[in-house]
Amino acid sequence: MSAPPILAVEDLVAGYEPGLPIVNGVSMHAADGEIVGVLGPNGAGKSTLIKAMAGLVATSRGKVRFGGRDITKTPAHLRIRGGLAFTPQTENVFTSMSVDDNLKLAAGLLPAPRRPSRIAAMFETFPDLARQRTLLAGRLSGGQRQMLAIARALLIEPKALMLDEPSAGLSPKAVSAVFASLAEIRKTGVTIVLVEQNAKAALAIADRAYILVQGRNRHEGLASALGSDPMIAALYLGGAGTEDAA
Amino acid sequence: MTPQVVVDGLISGALIGLGAIGLTLTYSILRFANFAHGEFVTFGAYAALALSAVISSQVGVSGEALEPFSISLALVLAVPLAMALTAAFALALDHLLFSRLRGKSEAISVVMASFGASLAIRAAIEFVFTSRPSYFNRELQIAQPIGFGLKATPNQLAMLVVAVALTTGVYLLLARTQLGRSMRAVSENPSLARVAGVDVERTIRFTWALGGALASAGGVMAGLLVQIRPFMGFDLLLPMFAAAILGGIGSVPGAFVGALIVGLAEALTVQLAGAEWRAAVAFVALVGVLLIRPTGIAGRAA
């Protein structure tokens, strides 16, 4: 790998209760412009890891570095302001606010003159949202909500985007649309860290991937190599080589 | 029954509304029922009383009533200062008490802490100002005809205008500004708000300050309408809760409309059944709403 990592996790221990770590010494990194998958069976600690990277789960050991800076103790709202965006798996939009207001909330992090053009850019990228801009986000379909969550995260032009299971609960058509938009996003140079249960879809667009098991690193490598390894697919990825996860 | 009950009800509803807005915002953003909110009303009224006396005696601003109102220029100048002081007081209470419990203990502990704070603040106010009622002005105002056979004093009309203006201002703040969107975001999902870049702690501080300032304005209105007493806020607590729940927790227009309904119901009850039944109205409204439509008029399902 030639580019230096923009986002790195070193020996991270994190969890919800003191003394009961869910993530137990995980290390990983993502280079500038890379798509990195974080995969593994249920309960592997994937979501906890990404939440700890976003600043939503307390860490008791290890470091999170972003853009060369140690952000382990940086509050969540300052991480996004620094260019590290995150979209949660569920409850990822403000359902009582309109599509427009969801985007305006994010636009508030930008200088006032840039806000209208960035909101317009997001509506251009996600035309489906433009047609629903006055609708309450709670009335959007699952796929549209995921798009809105991604649009909200991308609006501030982050350097890196972390997504927690963007395919969860979506129809196969919506999953295709979400992953197609991720492929488009990577063309803009944004680094993407993708936690996914749907290993096949994730490996199809990722450059590299990490496989976690019981809160620890188990395998890592090029996405193409991991995806074509039948043993890994069968053991950890729900038969990723052959079928979609739900 | 005379139509005058409408004016009386709307006036009393308007001052309940100013308190209920702060209560509903605190409830929706901090997720606890603040039983000390009534004391912000009382604190605000006494702060305006003390500040208007200081402005009148030390700065030399007239303490004479501005005709046709019974409100002096000193009091007009004191009200924004009292609102700021009550906002600071609410922030201090949060810093010293509630912020230490937030996220670390059960919700009921925070509610109990607010009970304790309510008792302590009320006792401290009583200690400083005594339990004897005070007045902004002892001049008697004569109600003037305002059409449709209704009468209102100039003070009452001014209060109604101020209450509607403040409520509209808060509504526009929530609907149109970045701060308002942040407040709505924290109210719905604090965790998502954090990753959307909202400074949740700052938003919470603003909510306290806003709630305190509005309660203070409500306190001044209550003081002008009746009298200033250490129990004035406590007596308004139940109607404020009834209004906030009736309107739907988190909804500013809902809280104000809820308050007007509670005010009208109280005035109607006083006229039809007698003043001794007034306090029961808020209880009945509260129980009725919780039984029939727990989300209130404008509330959303949890």
Q: Looking at residue B194, which CATH number applies to its domain?
A: 1.10.3470
Out of A30-34, A41-45, B140-144, pick the least confident: B140-144
Contacts of B104 in chain A (CB under 8 A): none
B124 belongs to a structural domain: yes
- Alpha carbon of A76 to those of B54, B179, B192, B200: distances in Å? 45, 18, 10, 10
pLDDT at position B140: 74
Q: Give the CA angle between residues A146, A147, A151 to the nearest 5°.
A: 120
Q: B9: exposed, middle or buried (C-beta count within 10 Å: 0-12, 13-18, 19+)?
A: buried
CA distance B111 to chain A (A): 25
Identify the pLDDT of residue A73: 95
Is A1 a residue whose pLDDT tops 60? no
Of the ranges A138-147, B81-90, B270-279, which one carries the lowest mean pLDDT score?
A: B270-279
Instruction: Decide if pLDDT at B153 tops 90.
Output: no
User: How far is the alpha carbon of B181 from chain A, nearest alpha carbon, in Å?
Assistant: 6
- A30: DSSP letter: E
Does residue B301 lie within any of the structural domains?
Answer: no
Query: Is pLDDT above 90 for A205?
Result: yes
Q: Is residue B302 part of a domain?
A: no
Of B182, B191, B194, the CB nearest to A105: B182
Q: Which strands sit side by side in the sheet containing A69-70, from one edge to the other?
A: A23-31, A5-14, A59-66, A69-70
Q: Tell me the nearest-neighbour CA distance from B191 into chain A, angstroms.
A: 7
User: pLDDT-derived band of residue A237, with 50, 70 and 90 as boundaries?
Assistant: low
Band the pLDDT of A236: cuts 50, 70, 90.
low
pLDDT higher for A94 or B32? Answer: A94
Contact status, residue A79 vs residue A55, Cβ threshold 8 Å: yes
In 3D space, the residue among B69, B47, B45, B15 whose CA is nearest the CA of residue B228 turns out to be B45
Mutate which of B28, B179, B183, B192 to disrupt the A interface (most A C-beta within 10 Å)? B192
Which of A156-160, A202-206, B131-135, B272-276 bottoms out in mean pLDDT, i.e. has the lowest? B272-276
pLDDT the model gives residue B103: 74
Q: Which residue does chain B place closest to A110, by CA atoms?
A: B197
Partner residue opposite A96 with nearest CB, options B188, B193, B196: B188
Q: What is the distance in angstroms between the Cα of B112 and the nearest Cα belonging to chain A? A: 26
B51: Cβ–Cβ under 8 A, 6 or more apart, which residues? B78, B81, B82, B85
Q: What share of chain A is helix, strand, coil (3-state, %, to 5)?
A: 40, 25, 35
In a domain, residue B299? The reply is: no
Q: Do B178 and A54 touch (CB under 8 A)?
A: no
Residue A133 gets the label, from left (phi > 0), alpha (psi -120 to 50) or beta, of alpha
Is the predicted pLDDT of residue B241 greater than 60, yes or no?
Answer: yes
What pLDDT does residue A240 have?
47
Rounded CA-CA distance B54/B176 in Å is: 37
Question: How far from chain centre, in Å, is Cα B67?
Answer: 26
Q: Residue B1 above 70 pLDDT?
A: no
Strand pairing class (A208-213; A35-39): parallel
Residue B129 has a CB neighbour count (10 Å cut-off) of 18
Listed by number, the residues of chain B in 169-228 with a beta carbon closer than 8 Å to a beta carbon of chain A are 178, 181-182, 184-185, 188-189, 191-200
Please indicate, yes or no, if residue B116 is contained in any of the structural domains: yes
Q: Averaged over B263-269, what is the pLDDT?
A: 91
Q: What is the pLDDT, as a whole number, of residue B67?
A: 78
What mean pLDDT is reported for chain A? 90
Per-residue model confidence (pLDDT) at position A133: 94
Question: What mean pLDDT comes out for the span B266-272?
Answer: 89
Are A104 and B198 inside 8 Å of each other by CB? Answer: no
Inside any domain, residue B210:
yes
B92 domain residue, yes or no: yes
How sure is the predictor about B282, in pLDDT bands with cuts at 50, 70 and 90? Answer: confident
Q: How many domains does chain B have?
A: 1
pLDDT digits (tens, 9 = 90+) for B176-200: 999 999 999 999 999 999 999 999 9
At A239 the pLDDT is: 54
Contact A25, A218 (CB under 8 A): no
ipTM: 0.91
**Which residue bears the tokens 């990753």?**
B195
Q: Residue B118 and residue B214: Cα distance in Å, rounded?
A: 17
Alpha carbon distance A131, A143 (integer Å): 14
Lowest mean pLDDT among B94-98, B163-167, B268-272: B268-272
Collect all residues of chain B within an 8 Å Cβ-Cβ radius of residue A109. 197
Alpha helix (H) residue ranges in chain A: 46-54, 76-81, 99-107, 115-125, 127-130, 142-154, 172-187, 199-205, 223-227, 230-236
Lowest mean pLDDT among A237-241, B55-59, B150-154, B163-167: A237-241
Of B181, B189, B198, the CB nearest to A77: B198
Q: Residue B178 and residue A104: Cβ atoms within 8 Å?
A: yes
pLDDT at A242 over 60: no
Query: The domain containing residue B149 runs over which residues?
Result: 4-292
Q: Which residue is associated with the tokens 């209102």?
A: B152
Torsion of CA B114, B116, B120, B121, to 10 degrees: 10
Q: Which pLDDT score is estimated for A3?
A: 59
Instruction: Select from A80, A81, A97 the Cβ nearest to the Cβ of B184.
Output: A97
Q: How confident is the model at residue A238 (pLDDT cuts 50, 70, 90)?
A: low
User: Is residue B21 assigned to a domain?
Assistant: yes
- For residues A211 and A232, is the Cβ–Cβ distance under 8 A? yes
